[in-house]
Structure 1
């Protein structure tokens, strides 16, 4: 038997958003992702922040995998796969990207 104190109270859904910085929508088709000691696979970026990105590629990546992400022909960036599903992969960079790099990638300056 339920008491007044145990009455159902509606609550807001929990937020799964755990990012500390906003991601910016980008369309970078000339990127690659390469697991350590493997060949690079063509990838495209759909969003980017100073600390991570979401890529689409044909490669199989599992959460926790270490990869190198190369953005638009630049230097490779060490990253860890945070999630992967349906050809999309979320990566967290080992070190944040410089403001100038993000600006160039988001404004299309190369």
Structure 2
């Protein structure tokens, strides 16, 4: 779980806590990839339940949950998910994603 410490225990604000957490998780993800692992960061979480389950203090703000591991073979998925996972990927052309101005 990625948690931002938004203030010290004494109450001093830490305005860059969320940015710092993002940087640390980005570097963690790069290192995991270098080590042959995959990461999947998730934000669709019930933060109140998570905060209560881990008894987090007021100054600790959970921001993300990250799964880390190896990728299993797609044939372990249901047929529909296997088809989606193994389907050819199509990338949009850059000019459909970015507005270039001269």
TM-score (norm 2): 0.24
Structure with larger RCO (C-alpha < 8 A, sep 6+): 2
TM-score (norm 1): 0.23
More helix by share: 2
More strand by share: 1
